[in-house]
């Protein structure tokens, strides 16, 4: 790496209690005890299944914010930029390449000031409005354009409803507009069959067939931009918005309640207590979590996506790894507060996550919250997806924020220029995990002390504000494992080595089985700051991992510094 690494000198092997426990396991486990000459060990336990990994944890989020929709996704039908019905072709193709399962829209904070009726009907008749994020929205991209985007990609829609500035009636009608069946509907009273008025309006606007949207966020960040409500006030609103939503045979609704600001356990506990105080809560399917990672920037970094040193690097990844604590703490709080087994049916929906930096690398001033994305962000992506996979029993949906031109992006676009970021490549490398059976895997590796553990807590919402203890140590190697849904002898193992200058020779073993062969892909680059831009779209791209043949049923592999690796292991 290009800079000195004070954090690495403070690195300690097997210092944390977790690692000490792993070391004990190493001595007492017959498989690992035979191991020698390795810096690290991974043991996969196929007999300890966690859950099926929901394909929807690889979901996406696009908001009317800066250059996300206008220019990023929507270029218009008459644009010289290649497009399909106005939607940027490069965006569609990239989303298809990663089989994007889910797309959340229209916000974010934007959703709570958006009227869905402004974005339907002939485009030349739609109103231009002052919108959230201090911008004007001309409503050329609305509900139908969004559904066409989902259709072109092959993803499911996830709509965020307005709870702050529209009454519940508008939500009910939006559901009806999206989901009421086409044509004359038989009445269950003596009245004759008649077409539903909203379905007829939808057909007049070009889509006779229902959109069948099942996943709905009921408001967004209602503790902040979504209304500054208390959990109790929000619980009452949630009940009013969801108790009598229209439902149609084909689409049973999955309604997602607004969850905490970052790690705010108090919100979740009080929300669940308030919801459970009233039996009319039957529609609650998921609890949303927004967790962004903002490091505690050193003077050098000033929170820039590109200007950071090794301390900032380790700090950001340590704070990003707190996602695991956020997931497990909130899961526990949901269960404790409900005092029933209900929490096992209410899933976590991490519908905004990513690394959020300060200004400095935006594409242009009007591309609000756009930022560059480096190898450091690729590592955070791997760490985060591995956490979701390890907690496949809890996390059902997740949406990276945001897919294009905003925060933790997979793509950057400006007019006719377009590039994929390193984060895109990680999403592609993790494809074999989707729908697979997550199984427990034990990682034993040199831990890293966070050199900025005692620095002030980052300013800004949605990030970790809890105990400093939790941000002291970063796992020296982390990842997750799963068994293919179609071939029980095929395992996927994804691994992140966050060390900036230390390759980790690692022995991979599978309890109760032998590895017959292995293939793999690796994403690494000489400098952690490396990234793709319009002039160099292939500066960072994955390569085939060079693997030795397994010996004695085990694989020994050296994970390069600052790398993400995806291995396919075939069992004997
Ligand atoms: O993703 C940007 C913003 O971050 C979203 O609009 C909001 O929900 C969150 O605070």
- Reported as a pLDDT band with limits 50, 70 and 90, residue 464 is low
Fold of 54-185+194-434: TIM Barrel (3.20.20)
CA of 228 to the centre of ligand 1 (A): 14
Window from 28-32, 377-381, 500-504, 519-523 with minimum mean pLDDT: 28-32
Say if residue 68's pLDDT is above 50.
yes
Q: What is the pLDDT, as a whole number, of residue 192? A: 76
Higher per-residue pLDDT: 318 or 6: 318
- The domain segmentation of the chain, as residue ranges, is 8-50+440-571, 54-185+194-434
Domain 8-50+440-571 is classified in which CATH homologous superfamily? Golgi alpha-mannosidase II (2.60.40.1180)
Q: Give 151: exposed, middle or buried? Use CB within 10 Å, 0-12, 13-18, 19+.
A: middle
**Test site for ligand 1: of 109, 353, 406, 460, most ligand atoms within 8 A of the Cβ:** 109
CA distance 408 to 411: 9
| Residue 278 pLDDT grade (very low, low, confident, very high; cuts 50, 70, 90) | confident
Q: Is a pLDDT exceeding 90 seen at residue 191?
A: no
pLDDT tens profile 82-131: 999 999 999 999 999 999 999 999 999 999 999 999 999 999 999 999 98
For residue 109, how far is its CA from the centre of ligand 1 (angstroms)? Answer: 6
Measured from the Cα of 107, ligand 1's closest atom is 6
| pLDDT, tens digit, 9 for 90 and up, residues 540-559 | 999 999 999 999 999 999 99
Q: Percent of the chain, pLDDT > 90?
A: 76
Q: Report whether residue 111 contacts ligand 1, using a CB cutoff of 6 Å.
A: no
220 lines ligand 1 (CB under 6 A): yes
Task: Look at 14-18, 103-107, 415-419 and tell me which has the smallest mean pLDDT.
Answer: 14-18
Backbone phi and psi for residue 198, each to the nearest 5 degrees, phi listed first: -70, -40
Ligand 1 atom with the smallest distance to the CA of 61 is 1
pLDDT at 537: 98
Over residues 166-182, the pLDDT tens digits come to 999 999 999 999 999 98
pLDDT of residue 7: 35
Q: Which of 290, 294, 356 is the pocket-test mutation for ligand 1 (most atoms within 8 Å of CB)? A: 290
Looking at 13-149, which runs of residues are DSSP E strands?
40-52, 59-61, 83-84, 87-88, 102-105, 129-131, 135-137
Which range is least confidently modeled, 192-201, 339-348, 446-455? Answer: 339-348
Is the pLDDT higher at 30 or at 290?
290
Find the Cα–Cα–Cα–Cα dihedral 120, 143, 425, 458, rounded to 10°: 100
Ligand 1 within 6 A of 560 CB? no
| Closest residue by CA, ligand 1 atom 7 | 108
Question: Which among 59, 63, 133 is the best mutation to test ligand 1's pocket, defined by most ligand atoms within 8 Å of the CB?
Answer: 63
Q: Where does the pLDDT of residue 241 fall: very low under 50, low under 70, confident under 90, or very high at 90 and above?
A: very high
Measured between alpha carbons, how far is 142 from 124 in angstroms, rounded to an integer? 12
At 320-356, the pLDDT tens digits run 999 999 999 999 998 876 665 444 688 999 999 999 9
Kindly state the percentage of the chain with pLDDT values over 70. Answer: 88
In 87-222, alpha helices (H) = 89-97, 143-153, 168-179, 197-204
Q: Is the confidence at residue 10, as pLDDT, over 50?
A: no
The Cα 73–Cα 149 span in angstroms is 9
Which tokens hold the place of 426?
């990680």
Please give the full DSSP string across 112-123, using - where no structure is assigned. GG--GGGGSS-G
Model-level pTM? 0.92
Tens of pLDDT along 354-365? 999 988 899 999
On average, the pLDDT of the chain sits at 89
- CA 132 – ligand 1 centroid, Å: 11
What values do phi and psi take at 289, rounded to 5? -130, 135
Strands (E), 311-416: 347-355, 395-401, 411-414
Output 8 or 131, whichever has higher pLDDT. 131
Three-class SS state of 567: strand
Write out pLDDT tens, residues 477-491: 999 999 999 999 999
Instruction: State the Cα–Cα distance between residues 268 and 156, nearest whole angstrom.
Output: 27
Mean pLDDT computed over 407-430: 98
Task: Read off the pLDDT of each residue in 2-16 and give the average, rounded to a whole number.
Answer: 32
107 lines ligand 1 (CB under 6 A): yes
Over 90: is that where the pLDDT of 568 sits?
A: yes
Look at residue 8 and tell me whether its pLDDT is greater than 70. Answer: no
Asked if residue 100 has its Cβ within 6 Å of ligand 1, the reply is no
| Average pLDDT over every residue of 241-246 | 90
| Helices 89-97 and 143-153, packing angle to 10 deg | 50
| Cα 108 to averaged position of ligand 1 atoms, centre (Å) | 5
409 ligand 1 Cβ < 6 A: no
Q: If you take atom 6 of ligand 1, which residue's CA is the nearest one?
A: 108
Distance of alpha carbon 237 from alpha carbon 112, whole angstroms: 13
- The reply to whether ligand 1 has any atom less than 6 angstroms from the CB of 377 is no
Q: Residue 26: what pLDDT?
A: 37
The response to whether residue 112 sits with its C-beta less than 6 Å from ligand 1 reads: no
Residue 389: CB within 6 Å of ligand 1? no
Q: How far is the CA of 429 from the centre of ligand 1 (A)?
A: 27
331 Cβ contact partners less than 8 Å away, ≥ 6 residues apart: 343, 348, 391, 394
pLDDT score of 30: 41
């Amino acid at each position: 790496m290009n800079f000195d690494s004070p954090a690495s000198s403070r690195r300690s092997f097997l210092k944390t209690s977790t690692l000490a426990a792993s070391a004990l396991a190493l001595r007492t486990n017959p498989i690992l005890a035979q191991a020698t000459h390795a810096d690290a060990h991974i043991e996969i336990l196929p007999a300890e299944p966690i859950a099926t990994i929901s394909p929807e944890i690889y979901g996406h989020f696009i908001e009317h914010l800066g250059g996300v929709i206008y220019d990023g996704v929507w270029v218009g039908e008459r644009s010289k930029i290649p497009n399909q019905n106005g939607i940027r072709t490069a965006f569609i193709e990239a989303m298809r390449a990663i089989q994007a399962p889910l797309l959340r829209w229209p916000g974010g904070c934007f959703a709570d000031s958006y009227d869905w009726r402004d974005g339907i009907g002939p485009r030349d008749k739609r109103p231009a409005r002052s919108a959230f994020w201090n911008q004007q929205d001309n409503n050329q991209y609305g509900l139908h354009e969004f559904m066409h985007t989902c259709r072109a990609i092959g993803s499911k829609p996830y709509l965020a409803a307005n709870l702050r500035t529209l009454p519940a009636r508008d939500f009910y009608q939006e559901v009806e507009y999206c989901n009421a069946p086409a044509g004359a509907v038989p009445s269950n009273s003596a009245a004759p069959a008649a077409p539903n008025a909203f379905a007829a309006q939808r057909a007049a606007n070009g889509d006779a067939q229902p959109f069948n949207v099942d996943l709905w966020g009921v408001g967004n960040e209602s503790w902040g931009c979504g209304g500054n409500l208390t959990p109790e006030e929000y619980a009452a609103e949630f009940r009013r918005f969801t108790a009598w939503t229209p439902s149609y045979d084909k689409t049973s609704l999955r309604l997602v309640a607004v969850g905490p600001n970052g790690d705010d356990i108090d919100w979740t506990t009080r929300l669940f207590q308030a919801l459970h105080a009233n039996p009319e809560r039957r529609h609650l399917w998921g609890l949303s979590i927004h967790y962004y990672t903002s490091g505690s920037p050193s003077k050098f970094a000033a929170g820039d996506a590109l200007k950071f040193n090794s301390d900032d690097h380790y700090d950001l990844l340590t704070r990003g790894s707190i996602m695991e604590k956020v997931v497990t703490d909130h899961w526990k709080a949901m269960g404790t507060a409900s005092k029933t087994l209900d929490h096992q049916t209410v899933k976590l929906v991490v519908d905004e996550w990513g690394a959020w930096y300060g200004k400095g690398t935006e594409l242009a001033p009007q591309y609000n919250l756009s930022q560059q994305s480096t190898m450091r962000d690729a590592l955070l992506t791997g760490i985060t997806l591995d956490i979701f996979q390890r907690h496949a029993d809890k996390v059902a949906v997740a949406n990276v924020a945001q897919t294009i031109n905003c925060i933790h992006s997979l793509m950057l676009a400006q007019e006719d220029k377009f590039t994929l970021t390193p984060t895109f490549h990680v999403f592609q490398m993790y494809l074999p995990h989707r729908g697979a059976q997550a199984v427990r895997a034990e990682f034993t590796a040199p831990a890293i002390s966070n050199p900025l553990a005692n620095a002030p807590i980052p300013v800004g919402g949605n990030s970790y504000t809890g105990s400093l203890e939790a941000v002291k140590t970063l796992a020296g190697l982390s990842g997750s494992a799963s068994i293919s849904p179609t071939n029980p002898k095929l395992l996927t193992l994804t691994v992140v080595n966050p060390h900036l200058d230390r390759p980790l020779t690692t022995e991979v073993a599978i309890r109760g089985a032998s590895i017959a062969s292995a293939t793999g892909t690796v994403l690494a680059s000489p400098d952690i700051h490396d990234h793709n831009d319009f002039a160099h779209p292939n500066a960072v791209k994955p390569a085939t991992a060079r693997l030795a043949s397994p010996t004695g049923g085990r694989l020994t592999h050296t994970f390069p510094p600052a790398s993400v690796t995806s291995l396919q292991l075939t069992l004997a």
